[in-house]
Chains A and B, each alone.
Chain A
Amino acid sequence: MHVDIAYTGPASLSEVFVGMIEALLTPEFFITALALTVRIAPTILFASLGEVISEKAGVVNLGVEGIMLITAYTAFYISYQAGDPAMGLLAALAVGAVIGVVHGLLTVYLRLNQVVVGLGLWLFGLGIPDILYRISFKGISSPTVKVFEEAPIPLLSDLPVVGPILFSHNILVYTALLLIPAVYFLINHTRPGLNFIVCGENPKAAHAAGVNVLRTRALAVLIGSLLASLGGAYFTTAFLRSYITNITFGRGFIAIAMVYFGNWSPVRLLLPLLIYNFVDSVQLILQTADIGVRYYVLNMVPYLTIIALMPVFARGVRPPSALMKPFK
C-alpha cells in the first residue's frame, strides 16, 4: 500500500494544474513530455482511425476496447512463444480479422443493437485474456517479451527538438502517423471510401445506385477492427514488455470519443488526441517525479481534460446521418 508520510493533505486540482505548468516551463521536460506524447499516441490513434472508417459507413464499434484487450494479449502470447514481436503483430491482426467478421455479421447482417454487441464484446475482452494469461503463464513470474526496437530515422532524428520528439521512435509509431493521411485518402479519394460515406449518410441512395450496402458496411467494420487490433498489439509489441490486467485501461473508449471530437475526420481528430495524450504524458512523468501530489489526483486530470474539452470540440460536429441505423 502506498503510504506517503510527508504528504500533508489532498491537493486541489488547481494546485495540480499549477504544478504541471511550472514543470512544463523547463525545456528538457517539455521535450520529454512531447516525445512521450508521440510514443503514447498509437495506443489511441490506431483505434480512432479504425473507428472513423467504421462509423463513416454507419456502424459504431463500441467493442474497440474489447478488441484491443484481446489482441494485446494475443500479441503478447505469440511473441512470447515465437520470440519475435512481428509474429505477435500478425497474430493480433488475424484475431482482429476474425472479430471484425463476427462483429460485421452481428451488427450489419443480423442488425443487432450496436451498443449491446459492443458492450458484450468489451466485457468478453475484459474476461478472456486474463483467464488465458493465468492458464498459459502459470508458474512463470512476470514474463516479458521482446518489443520492436527504437528505429531513429537517420539525419532527421539528429535535428534539435523535432528529432527526439518525432523521429526517434519504433516502427509502429511511424506507421500510426502515416496511417492518418492514408485513411484520409482512402475515405475521400477512393471508390470504397466514397461508398463508405454514402452508406453512412444515405444507405437507401447507395442501394439505389447499386452499392451493396451490407457488404460495404461489413468491410468498413472489418477494416476498423483490423486497425483496432494494431492498436491492441501496440501495447505488447512496442509500448510495454509485460502483460497486465486491463492493459488498455479505457483507451478504446477514448478512441471513440476522439472520433466524435474530430467530427469523423481522420485529420481533425489529431488535435484533441494530442492534447489528451500530452496531458496524460505530463501526469505520467510527474507521477514518477513525485511532486507531492497523489497519483490518483494526477490520474484524473487526463479524463477531466477530455470532458472539459467536450464543449470546445463538440461544437458543430455532425455524425453520419445513418450512424447506428441498421439497413433494411
Chain B
Amino acid sequence: MNLPYFFKFVAANVGAVAIGLSLGLLIVYATGSDLSLAATTLVLAPISDFYNLAEMLVWFTPLLVIAQGIGLGIRAGVWNVGAPGQFLLGSVFTMIVWKFLNPYIPPAPLVILMLLGGAAGGCLWALIPAVIRARFGGNEIVVTLLLNLVAVSVLWWALDGPIRGRFSAGYPLSDVIPTVYRIPTLIPDTRLSYSLAISLAVAALFYVLVEKTHFGLQLKAVGLNPVAAKNSGIKVSWTLFRALLIAGAAAGFAGSLHLLGVLYRMDAGYAETGNDFGYIAIAVAMLGGAHPLGIVFSSIFFSYMMIGAQNMQRMIQIPFPLVYAVVGCMLISLTLVQRAYRRSL
C-alpha cells in the first residue's frame, strides 16, 4: 500500500466528514439549542457507558454487512440503493422460514436456514433491478428506489398475512421468535449479540472475494473501464448482474441478523429500521472508499455518530431527519474530496 496516498485519502475523508458534521451543528445552533451541550453529547455519549457502547456495535453490525455489499457494487460501477427494501425482504423471509419450518426442523439447523432465507430474500429483491439492468440496460437506481417503496407495502401485507402474529389482535405485529432460535446475546443486559462476530466474518469473506479472487479482479476491471474489460473478454453484464445479487444478499442477510440478534419481532415500524440502515450504508461504503477494510472503519465511525446523534436528539429535542440532512451533505463532500484521490469513485 502506498502510504502517503493512504494518509492523504484519510485526511481528505476526515475533512469531508467535518463539513457534514458542521452543517449538522449549524442547524442545531439555528434552532437555538445549547451548542456545546449538543457537541459534547454527540462526541461523548457513545463512549460514556457500557450500554451506549454496546448500542454502537448493534448499529455497527448491519451497517458493516450492508455497506460491504454496496461497496462491492461500487467497485463494479453499479449502485445498489435498494438495500432498505432488500433488508425488509430478508427479514420477512427469515420470519416466514421460521414460521413454516419450526415444527419440522430442530433449532440449530433452522437458524442457519433462516439466515440463508434472509440472504435469499434480499437476493430475490435485487434480482428485479439486476435483470432490468442486464437484460434491458435500464437504470438500476430508479428501479431499486421504487422497489424500496414497494417493500414497505410487502412488509405490511406480510404482517397482515403470512407472518401475522397469533396474539397480534388486528395490529400489524409478528410473533416473537423464541429464545432457542435467536442468536445468543454476547454481553448480558445489552442488545449486542453474536451477530457482531458473524458480521465480521462476512466482512472477511468480502475482503477475500474482492481482493483475492478472479471475480474480484473482474469487478474492479469492469468498474474502472467497462470497454477495456469487455475487450479483454470479461462479460460485463454478467459481472454487474452478480454484483447486484451479492449486494442484495448482503442486505437481506443483515436484515436476518438484526431480526434474530436484536429485535426478534417485526411490526410496522420495522420499515424505518430498514430505511435508516440501508441509506446510511451508502455513505458508509463511500467513506470507506468501497474497500472491504475501509468499510470496517467507516462502519465504526458511522455507528459512533448515529448513537451520538440519537443521544443528542433525546437531550435537545432535535428531530431525527437531521441525520439524513447531515448524511446527504457528507455524501456530496465525500465525493468532492475523493475526486482528487480516486478515479473510480
Residue on A with the closest CB to B280?
A: A123
Decide if B35 is an interface residue (CB 8 Å cutoff): no
Query: Which of the segments B4-12, B209-217, B316-324 contacts the partner chain?
Result: B316-324
Interface locus among A111-119, A173-181, A187-195: A111-119
Interface bits A95-126 vs B (CB < 8 Å: 1, else 0): 00000000000100011110111011111111
Contact A131 B321 (CB under 8 A): yes
B150 with A303: CB separation less than 8 A: yes
Q: Which residues of A contact B143 (CB under 8 A)?
A: 257, 307, 310
**What per-residue 1/0 map shows which CB atoms of B137-152 lie under 8 Å from chain A?**
1110111011101101
Q: Are B145 and A253 in contact (CB under 8 A)?
A: yes
Instruction: Say whether B241 faces chain A, with CB atoms less than 8 Å apart.
Output: no
Cβ of A128 under 8 Å from chain B: yes
Tell me if A66 counts as interface (CB < 8 A to partner B).
yes
Please give, as numbers and ranges, the residues of chain B lying within 8 Å of A299 by CB-CB distance.
Answer: 153
Given contacts A122-B328, A131-B325, A260-B138, A306 and B146 within 8 Å (CB-CB)? yes
Q: How far is the CB of A55 from chain B (nearest CB, A)?
A: 10
Chain A residues 240 to 254 lying within 8 A of chain B, measured CB to CB, are 245, 249-250, 253-254
A155 at the interface (CB under 8 A from B): no
B286 part of interface (Cβ distance < 8 Å) = yes
In the complex, whether A40 has a CB less than 8 A from a CB of chain B is no
Tell which of B53-61, B94-102, B104-112, B156-164 binds the partner.
B156-164
B165 to chain A, nearest CB (A): 14
Residue from A3, A5, A10, A66 with most neighbouring chain B CB atoms (10 Å): A10
B249-257, B292-300, B332-340: which lies at the interface: B332-340
Mark B18-33 against chain A: 1 for CB-CB distance below 8 A, else 0. 0000000001001100
A130 touches B329 (CB 8 A): no
The count of residues in chain B whose C-beta lies closer than 8 Å to any C-beta of chain A is 50
Residues of A within 8 Å of B322, CB to CB, are: 127, 131
Q: Out of A4, A128, A256, A314, name the residue touching B136 (CB < 8 Å).
A: A314
Closest Cβ of chain B to A264, distance in Å, is: 12
CB–CB A10/B157 < 8 A: yes
Tell me which residues across on chain A come within 8 A of B318, comparing CB atoms.
131
| List of B residues within 8 angstroms of A307 by Cβ | 128, 143, 146-147, 150
Interchain CB contact under 8 A, A253 and B335: no
Closest chain B residue, CB of each to CB of A257: B142
* Contact A134 to B319, CB < 8 A, known contacts A300-B154, A310-B138, A314-B136: yes
Given A112-B335, A250-B145, A307-B146, answer yes or no on A296-B156 (Cβ-Cβ < 8 Å). Answer: yes
Bound together, the chains give a CA A311 to CA B131 distance in angstroms of 11
- Judge whether A160 is part of the interface by a CB distance below 8 angstroms: no
Asked whether, in the complex, the Cβ of A126 is within 8 Å of the Cβ of B324, the reply is yes
Q: Does A304 contact B (CB under 8 A)?
A: yes
**CA A166 to CA B44, docked complex, whole Å:** 60
> Across the interface, do A250 and B149 meet the contact criterion of CB distance under 8 Å?
yes
B-side binding surface: helix, strand, loop or mixed?
helix
Chain B residues near A125: list those with CB within 8 A: 328
**Smallest CB–CB gap between B60 and chain A, Å?**
21
* Interface residue? B243 (CB, 8 A): no
Q: Which residues of B contact A131 (CB under 8 A)?
A: 27, 31, 318-319, 321-322, 325
Taking a contact as CB atoms under 8 Å apart, the answer to whether B138 and A127 are in contact is: no
A260 and B142 within 8 A (CB): yes
Verify B149–A123 contact, CB threshold 8 A: no
Residues of chain A within 8 A (CB-CB) of B332 are: 106, 112, 116-117, 120-121, 124
Smallest CB gap from B28: residue in A: A131
Contacts of B81 in A (CB 8 A): 119
Cβ-defined partner of B141 (8 Å) among A3, A62, A130, A294: A62
A140 CB within 8 Å of chain B: no
23 A–B pairs (Cβ distance < 8 Å), ordered by A:
A62-B141, A110-B336, A119-B282, A120-B328, A123-B279, A124-B328, A124-B329, A126-B321, A126-B325, A127-B321, A127-B324, A130-B319, A249-B149, A253-B145, A296-B153, A296-B160, A300-B153, A303-B149, A307-B143, A307-B150, A310-B136, A314-B137, A314-B138
Which 4 pairs, one residue from A and one from B, show the smallest C-beta to C-beta distance?
A127-B325, A123-B328, A124-B328, A120-B331
A117-B331, A131-B318 provided; 18 other pairs, C-beta below 8 A? A1-B171, A4-B170, A112-B335, A113-B345, A116-B331, A119-B328, A124-B324, A124-B332, A128-B27, A131-B325, A135-B30, A249-B149, A253-B145, A294-B160, A307-B128, A310-B136, A311-B136, A314-B132
